[in-house]
Structure 1
């Protein structure tokens, strides 16, 4: 009876998970600089740090918007047509990119770069649930959440630096110097994650959205996700019941949720299993409050580590 009650409570909130606003950025092309268009926040931050005063970086994804379901508008296409670099994650994150690139101005000289190139990508089985009398079936998907691990973020930073040098070789020295600064911060973050997470005895985390595969692989953890690779991928009834059992059997104390998607499922599961919730941020974008507070990739990843250590103690 208890598992049925948990299932009912969870299913009641599946259909009210928040959707994403389809807004557009307001960046403008600047003459005399390398104009760079990025698809979402982590690439934008790394591109700004490496580009410095030599670059004008425009981020397509507006503040507070989750990237999985966002699609660009005509102004985004116009800006990108005039830019020198278009940096996107790839690995299946931005499904709109092929059509977007085909739609650019025919005279555009923009160089498109997949910044996840060279990362050992994770493939995962996701079950597609069809409610039409058909059996469920598994599809293999690539996990696109590369940037959530500092180890992968270093490879992304290297790809971004190389793309700057290719389109603007006259400022190679400056790009290299700023890249080294960024990598030294990423190495320090990586070392901190390795050292601190090696001390914990618990290794299992329950998350709302399957966004932490690279983080878990690189630092010896295992994620159990309520939803799939996309935060609006609906969980199946039997998976929710199994997850509730896992929480109880493994004596899990916290369920993680994130800020750019609805926390209703995570909080319902936490209530039904008698555990607490904490934020684990996949750093897909910043909220307006985080921008005002001066938060960045590094401050958020530091908070993530503190919350992981609290949950795994």
Structure 2
């Protein structure tokens, strides 16, 4: 199983308290915030937070994102125009440590209502899976490791909380509360929309629990080690390829290691993602006799995505996992 370490409760509480203090009504107590159209101007750093803002805010918000469809979030570089737009937003939603360029821009933006999703649910440290195959197992891709502040092979605080419906629901509640504070005139609507979204996420969690309850194997291999929370939630073992740069070949040692894992754990499939090349997955699959399929980390939606929104893509992920793991 994945190794995890919870951030101390006191530190989490302090971060949330600081975030709550920073959230002030844009138009004064009881006023409706927003621009000339009366809508709250929300800037989200990437798709998972954009989705929450749109589903919770609905007609009361105008949502933009710094990460356009098809752009790999981790490698995002912000343009001067985006920096200007960021500074004009009523509310900024981001996830600290995921996108270094965003962290820097947000810190310099001067926006009062800034919400860091990393303070809304406890982050965990995901090391290697339950199999002891060396320190390289879950190392993020080159560049990805640096942004998390960890060296090669070292366990890092995992930011991919949205891939666990339960943790994503906790983030949704925090986003809903932030919109209520920024736009108290529509607080009741934000609260209602948040409750509806959380109910849907709770139902999705049940679908995953039931769908992954009985499988031939509990181990899956992925080129992007983004699924630690999902694996932890549903009792699975994630095996990440060393280096995990989609454009690079896995090391010979790791190829041999994963070949042994695949044989021992009856692994049939190497997963790759939609926003990156499948070169690494196909290389490993070719040398190990495995198939390839998509396991989408949902960092963005494009016409190549297996679904039009978060729920559709997550259900596609579930279906692909069931097929690869051998659901009984």
Residues matched between the structures, number: 274
Shift of 1:238: 2.1
Which runs of 5 or more structure 2 residues have no equivalent in the other structure?
A: 1-34, 128-134, 143-150
For residues 166 and 99 of structure 1, the distance between their equivalents in structure 2, rounded to whole angstroms, comes to 24
| Partner of residue 303, structure 1 | 316
Paired residues of 2:220 and 2:238 also in contact (CA < 8 A):
yes
* Per-residue Cα deviation, 1:28-70 (whole angstroms, up to 9, x for no partner): x764211000011111011101011110000110111111111
1:142 paired with 2:157, answer yes
Shift of 1:150: 0.5
For residues 234 and 310 of structure 1, the distance between their equivalents in structure 2, rounded to whole angstroms, comes to 26
* Per-residue Cα deviation, 1:91-141 (whole angstroms, up to 9, x for no partner): x2122234212432xxx44411111324232224565899xxxxx964342
Cα distance 1:233–1:153, how it changes in 2: closer, same or farther (>3 A)?
farther
Helix, strand or coil: the match of 1:199? Answer: coil
For residues 297 and 33 of structure 1, the distance between their equivalents in structure 2, rounded to whole angstroms, comes to 24
CA RMSD of aligned residues (A): 2.5
| Partner of residue 168, structure 1 | 183
For residues 248 and 228 of structure 2, the distance between their equivalents in structure 1, rounded to whole angstroms, comes to 16
1:46 paired with 2:61, answer no
Alignment of 1:57-96 (within 5 A): 57-90=63-96, 92-96=97-101
* Per-residue Cα deviation, 1:160-192 (whole angstroms, up to 9, x for no partner): 101101111111100011111111111110011
Shift of 1:227: 4.4
Deviating above 6 A after TM superposition, structure 1's stretches of 4 or more consecutive aligned residues are none
Paired residues of 1:143 and 1:229 also in contact (CA < 8 A):
no
Helix, strand or coil: the match of 2:240? Answer: strand
| Partner of residue 325, structure 2 | 312
1:223 paired with 2:249, answer no
For residues 234 and 142 of structure 1, the distance between their equivalents in structure 2, rounded to whole angstroms, comes to 25
For residues 208 and 75 of structure 2, the distance between their equivalents in structure 1, rounded to whole angstroms, comes to 30
For residues 196 and 253 of structure 1, the distance between their equivalents in structure 2, rounded to whole angstroms, comes to 18
Helix, strand or coil: the match of 1:288? Answer: coil
Cα distance 1:99–1:109, how it changes in 2: closer, same or farther (>3 A)?
closer
Paired residues of 2:78 and 2:102 also in contact (CA < 8 A):
no
| Partner of residue 3, structure 1 | none
Paired residues of 2:44 and 2:64 also in contact (CA < 8 A):
yes
For residues 280 and 193 of structure 2, the distance between their equivalents in structure 1, rounded to whole angstroms, comes to 41
Helix, strand or coil: the match of 1:301? Answer: helix
| Partner of residue 179, structure 1 | 194
Paired residues of 1:227 and 1:233 also in contact (CA < 8 A):
no
* Per-residue Cα deviation, 1:210-236 (whole angstroms, up to 9, x for no partner): 010000001100000114577678754
Shift of 1:289: 4.4
1:111 paired with 2:113, answer yes
For residues 101 and 242 of structure 1, the distance between their equivalents in structure 2, rounded to whole angstroms, comes to 41
Tell me the TM-score normalized by structure 2: 0.77
1:239 paired with 2:254, answer yes
Alignment of 1:117-136 (within 5 A): 117-125=119-127
Which runs of 5 or more structure 1 residues have no equivalent in the other structure?
A: 1-28, 131-135
| Partner of residue 195, structure 1 | 210
